[in-house]
Each structure stands twice: as structure tokens, then as C-alpha cells.
């Protein structure tokens, strides 16, 4: 049973935080501009512009910003500015228990997967795998096609936050395994899921639709991570598989298989419905997904439909 935050309305208060990598002023300004154009009020974290090694401040300070907005009953959504690395270092500092009584949206992807898994699997609270202000569209993007792809990502986030996102439909893929499955949508970045294996934050795939994506990995590392999903029993336990983008894989030609073919080599053994090529992850468009929510995945010959 999942706990779903309320859909946003104009005039609601949202917060910007940086729980991982350090941020630049322009990405904050762009985030403020877009969110305010939606009629939202925006707070920013006290330590947002701090720098400590590769992080946006010390672990304690990044956690303090996040905890402040978790505790604030007026804040309806917490939007992470970017990923990078650092969320796993906050787990010992953060108490998400207040969100059990006052659930609010947590938004982000990539390294933010750590927080998604904690909310979805340990507390039963839904969250949003979606684009972040670092990737929002803005007029400074010279490539018009990239601008439009980013705009599509940003609009998908707006629809999800305001409760207007009901389904996604996308084209078929030769790797798809047809079928229909229902279950909680869980997952995110594959490398982050691997890093949480065996911990109290491990993703629980029993009866779930597992979503995975990644970027910048070598083919053999993707194979190794998929072997972990096999040998841990996670793929056997899952009801379905949703595969997003695998961007910037650096040795596909040497390895002899694409990243998606590596995933399929292992997933096919279990015969569960599987959909490849969903536009989400580290490329644009990066369409929003309600993680922790019971969804239906239908994979047919003429395309795929996800119903939230």
C-alpha cells in the first residue's frame, strides 16, 4: 500500500535542495524561473551554494537542508537540483518519518535513486523519477532540438506534479517481451541499485515493475550488475521490467552487445513482460514516472502503455 502525496496547485510552496553534487547559480535561477512560471512559490536550502569536495556542502549541512523541508508542513514538494554523488552519505542523518503523516513529492533521478528507494520500499511513500533543474529547458540552449527535448522533460514533470499524468505510451522495440503486469513501480539508476544491494535500503522487487537506466558505464559492468539482479533473485521476483536509456556506454563495439541487449540476455530467462526504450534517464526527453505507485505495464506488438 503506497502513500501518495497530494497533487500540486498554483500557489503551493516547493523547495529546492542539493543533496549530492555542488550547484551553479544559473541552474538555481533557471529552476526558480520555471517553477514560478507554474504558479508555485519556491524556497531554497540554506546551504544550497556551499562547496565541500565534490559535494554541495558537508554531509550534515546537505542533510540539514533536506530535513528542514521534510519537516516543514507547508512544503508540498522537494525538488533536487542535480544528482552526481552524495545521497547515500545522508542516510544516517535523515529522518523521513514526518512524511508518513505529511507526504510530499521528492523529485529527481540518477543519484537521487537512493532517496527514492528509501521512500518507496521502507516507508511506502510515492516519489517522482523526473528531470531536475540542471536539465530544465532555457533560452540559452543553442541546439533547438535539445531545447525541445528538455522542454518535453520539464513539461512531463509539471504534469506529474499537478496530477495530470495518467499514462505513457511509446513505440514497440524488437527486444520487448509481450504481456501485461501490475505492481509497484520501483527502481531508478542501475548502478545505485547495485550499490544498495544487501543494505537495509535494498530495493524490494517482489511483485514489482522494476525500472532501470544508467549512463557512462562499461558493458561488462552492466553485465555484472544484471548478474547481481539474477543471482539475488530480484529478476525472478519481479512482475515486469521497464528499461530506460543507457547513455554513453563506452565499449559496446568491443563487447559485441549493446547495453539493452545485455539487459535482455538476462531478463529474457524469466519470461516477464519487458519494455525497452522508455524515454527516461540521462538523456532527453526524460519523462516522469511515479515510483512507488501501483501501475499497469502492457507490452503489445504495436506498442507499450504504462497506466498510473
Q: Tell me the pLDDT tens digit for each residue of 208-256.
A: 999 999 999 999 999 999 999 999 999 999 999 999 999 999 887 788 8
User: What digits encode the pLDDT tens for the residues 182-211?
Assistant: 999 999 999 999 999 999 999 999 999 999
- Determine the 3-state secondary structure of 48 from DSSP: coil
User: Which domains does the chain carry?
Assistant: 13-161 (3.40.50.10740), 167-307 (3.50.30.60)
pLDDT band at 19 (very low <50, low <70, confident <90, very high): very high
DSSP letter for 52, please. Answer: B
- Confidence check: pLDDT of 1 > 70: no
Q: Are strands 179-189 and 167-170 parallel, antiparallel or unpaired?
A: unpaired
Reported pTM: 0.97
Q: Are strands 41-44 and 13-17 parallel, antiparallel or unpaired?
A: parallel
Looking at every residue in the chain, the average pLDDT score rounds to 96
DSSP letter for 137, please. Answer: -
Distance from C-alpha of 91 to C-alpha of 120, rounded to nearest angstrom: 14
- Note the pLDDT of residue 30: 94
- Note the pLDDT of residue 14: 98
Distance from C-alpha of 136 to C-alpha of 133, rounded to nearest angstrom: 5
- Confidence check: pLDDT of 85 > 90: yes
Nearest to 130 by CA among 34, 235, 266: 34
- Confidence check: pLDDT of 59 > 80: yes
Active site residues: 110, 213, 282
Amino acid at each position: 500500500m503506497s502513500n501518495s502525496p497530494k497533487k500540486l496547485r498554483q500557489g503551493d510552496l516547493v523547495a529546492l535542495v542539493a543533496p549530492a553534487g555542488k550547484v551553479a547559480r544559473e541552474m538555481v535561477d533557471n529552476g526558480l524561473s520555471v517553477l514560478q512560471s507554474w504558479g508555485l512559490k519556491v524556497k531554497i536550502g540554506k546551504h544550497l551554494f556551499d562547496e565541500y569536495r565534490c559535494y554541495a556542502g558537508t554531509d550534515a549541512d546537505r542533510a540539514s537542508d533536506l530535513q528542514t523541508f521534510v519537516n516543514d508542513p507547508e512544503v508540498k514538494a522537494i525538488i533536487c537540483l542535480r544528482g552526481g554523488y552524495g545521497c547515500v552519505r545522508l542516510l544516517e542523518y535523515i529522518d523521513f518519518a514526518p512524511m508518513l503523516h505529511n507526504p510530499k513529492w521528492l523529485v529527481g533521478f540518477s543519484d537521487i535513486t537512493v532517496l527514492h528507494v528509501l521512500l518507496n520500499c521502507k516507508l511506502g511513500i510515492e516519489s517522482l523519477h523526473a528531470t531536475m533543474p540542471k536539465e530544465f529547458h532555457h533560452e540559452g540552449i543553442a541546439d533547438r532540438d535539445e531545447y525541445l527535448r528538455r522542454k518535453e522533460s520539464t513539461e512531463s514533470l509539471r504534469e506529474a506534479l499537478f496530477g495530470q499524468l495518467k499514462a505513457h505510451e511509446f513505440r514497440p522495440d524488437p527486444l520487448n517481451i509481450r504481456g501485461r503486469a501490475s505492481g509497484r513501480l520501483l527502481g531508478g539508476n542501475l548502478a545505485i541499485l547495485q550499490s544498495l544491494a544487501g543494505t537495509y535500503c535494498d530495493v524490494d522487487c517482489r511483485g514489482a515493475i522494476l525500472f532501470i537506466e544508467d549512463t557512462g558505464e562499461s558493458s561488462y559492468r552492466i553485465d555484472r550488475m544484471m548478474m547481481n539482479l539474477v543471482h539475488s533473485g530480484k529478476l525472478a521476483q519481479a512482475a515486469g521490467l521497464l528499461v530506460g536509456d543507457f547513455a554513453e556506454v563506452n565499449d559496446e563495439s568491443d563487447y559485441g552487445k549493446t547495453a539493452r541487449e545485455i539487459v535482455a540476455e538476462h531478463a529474457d530467462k524469466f519470461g516477464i513482460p519487458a519494455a525497452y526504450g522508455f524515454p527516461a534517464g540521462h538523456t532527453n526527453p526524460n519523462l516522469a514516472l511515479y515510483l512507488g505507485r501501483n501501475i499497469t505495464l502492457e507490452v503489445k506488438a504495436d506498442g507499450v502503455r504504462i497506466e498510473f
